[in-house]
Amino acid sequence: MLHFLSIIIPVYNEEENIAKLNEQICPVLVEFGYNYEIIYVNDGSTDDSLKILNQLADDEHIRIINFMKNYGQSAALQAGFDLACGDVIIPLDADLQNDPKDIKKMIELYDNGFDLVSGWRKGRQDNIIRVLPSKVANFIISHLTGIKLHDFGCTLKVYNAELLKKVRLYGELHRFIPVMVSIYSGGTNFAEIEVNHHKRIFGKSKYNLSRTLRVILDLCTITFLQKFADRPIQFFGGCAFILFLISLVTLILSFGAEFIYTFLVLFLVGWLFLGFAFTALLIGILAELLMRNYYEFSDKRVYKIKNII
Ligand code: UDP
Ligand code: MG
């Protein structure tokens, strides 16, 4: 199948890597014989990355998006996705850790009719402090969301542009793009393939262990969106019910207490939990109102139609 490929590359302080990456990637794309574009997104680099990118811009296939400041990898990818003209979008890192040579086999797999082909860095070349939390995170994400992939964090993936363009990335949600694709577009026709991974030789990784907490928080958002976005009262109502039961049990226990001190503590805790239950219910009702706003004002629907026969 003939494609127009959009390669999206987020760049934050990668001055030593950009020219080498460009040298690697261009021959691979020319070899396909497809039409292609490469969009570099300079995410507020403070080194000479922009200068080097500007030198590449003479090539008619290359476009540069230059951010006002550092907005983060998700924003950089989103900007690239927004501008992409291809029918297939392929993001990859600028730090030479991904291997452009893998694109060929990924496209071949994609052509079997998949909406997404996900790169899996099976022989990942990062230290154990990076790899272990990432393995645990991938296991949890895959089990909680039902999307059976081994490597959500690998940037190198091949996406159906039409589906990807429905996705909106906030915060650091780039690690959850496959889940977002399934939430926003309903597509789950995903495949996975092993890809090469190289050690970072030049420049530094932009992340450290503190991202673990952020990934956990993002995972909460994503799981909530996936399961309850169009029915938040079911989640908050469930919480309210559990809190109400705790309150009821504590209040009943308080009346059987032998000592006045125990009675007072249980009685107060009982009322406190009743307050929590009421608050959870109110949040649920507010979330229902917000959800209606979201769907009705953006003219979105809670369902996605595959086709009408
Ligand atoms: N990146 C970016 N903005 C940021 C952080 C990272 O555009 O705020 C880019 C970075 O230049 C690289 C890619 O995102 O091309 C992945 O970053 P990094 O290699 O630091 O992540 P790691 O491979 O360590 O997970
Ligand atoms: Mg990297």
The answer to whether the beta carbons of residues 261 and 196 sit under 8 Å apart is: no
What's the 184 CA to ligand 1 centre distance in angstroms?
A: 25
Q: What residues make up the domain containing 161?
A: 4-228
CATH number of domain containing 59: 3.90.550.10
User: Left if phi > 0, otherwise alpha if psi is -120 to 50, otherwise beta: which for 51?
Assistant: alpha
- The residues near 292 (Cβ < 8 Å, ≥ 6 apart) are none
Looking at the fold, whether 196 and 244 belong to one and the same domain comes out as: no
> How many domains are contained in the chain?
2
Residues 202 and 113: their CA atoms lie apart, in Å, by 37
Q: What is the pLDDT of residues 177-188, one digit of tens each?
A: 999 999 988 888
Q: Among all ligands shown, which has an atom nearest to the Cα of 21? A: 1
Quick one: 202 and 272 in the same domain? no
End residue of a domain, out of 171, 201, 228: 228
Is the pTM higher than 0.95? The answer reads no
Q: pLDDT tens, 168-227?
A: 999 999 999 999 999 988 888 999 999 999 999 999 999 988 888 999 999 999 999 999
- Same domain? For 203 and 256 the reply is no
Residues within 6 Å of ligand 1 by CB:
10-12, 14, 43, 70, 72-73, 76, 93-95, 97, 205-207
What does pLDDT average to over the chain? 95
Whether 96 and 206 share a structural domain: yes
Q: For residue 300, what pLDDT is reported?
A: 86
pLDDT tens-place string over residues 78-103: 999 999 999 999 999 999 999 999 99
